[in-house]
Amino acid sequence: MDFARPPCQYRRFSHIIAGEDRQMTEQEKYMREAIRQAKKAWALDEVPIGCVIVFDGKIIARGYNRRNTDRNTLSHAELNAIKKASKKLGDWRLEGCTMYVTLEPCQMCAGAIVQARIDEVVIGSMNPKAGCAGSVLNLLDIPQFNHQVKITRGILQEECSALLSDFFRELRKRKKEQKKDTL
């Protein structure tokens, strides 16, 4: 198999895919799975956001954005993963868990993360328009809350950002073509 030109749209990351740069870290391994989840959202024409929750070194839950598919504003990647993780562990408290998410959580998801008592959130790309883990505000580290969450930012940031940029570029192009067709 020729890794110089991978059969995916992320050719600029071929050196990473080929493993030429360095050994993949644990954080990168889990973020890659979150990216795979985000691609599932894209396949449904959803904003490509993916998430995994890890406990004791194992992925216990996966989620991706399904808002339009489910016609439900609560169907964010993080909330879908939290629901699955709670079911898997048999508890709403997800203490000892780490969440890996491709885009900084919004206010709703950040609130759920605090309420679920997740220990750490690892973020791929920051969200300057709606991020609530440091971009717009930080709901994960408010001392007055009963729980604070450790935050790690920028894991596979380029890939996570490219996935979103490419999705929205394609969406704008499709909308422009649809508009042309109706004229």
Average pLDDT score over residue span 144-151 = 96
Q: Verify whether residue 46 is a known catalytic residue.
A: no
Which of 53-57, 122-126, 141-145, 170-174 shows the lowest per-residue confidence on average (mean pLDDT)? 170-174
Three-state SS at 136: coil
Residue 175's pLDDT is 87
* Mean pLDDT value across the chain: 90
Q: How far apart are CA 167 and CA 160, in angstroms?
A: 11
Q: Is the dihedral of CA 110, 115, 120, 122 positive or negative?
A: negative
Residue 22's pLDDT is 62
Instruction: Specify binding-site residues for Zn(2+).
Output: 76, 106, 109
118 near 98, Cβ under 8 Å?
yes
Catalytic residue of the set 78, 120, 158, 159: 78
Does the structure show a pLDDT above 60 at 9?
A: no
Q: Which of 36, 29, 95 is nearest to 62 (CA)?
A: 36
Does the structure show a pLDDT above 70 at 31?
A: yes
Distance (Å) of CA 135 to CA 6, 53, 106, 127: 33, 22, 10, 6
26-182: CATH topology is Cytidine Deaminase; domain 2 (3.40.140)
Residue 24's pLDDT is 86
The reported pTM is 0.85
Residue 182's pLDDT is 74
Does the structure show a pLDDT above 90 at 121?
A: yes
Average pLDDT score over residue span 8-15 = 44
Residue 183's pLDDT is 67
Instruction: Specify binding-site residues.
Output: 76, 106, 109
Give the domain ranges of the chain.
Answer: 26-182
Does the structure show a pLDDT above 60 at 20?
A: no
Q: Summarize pLDDT for 164-182 with one digit per residue, the tens.
A: 999 999 999 988 888 777 7
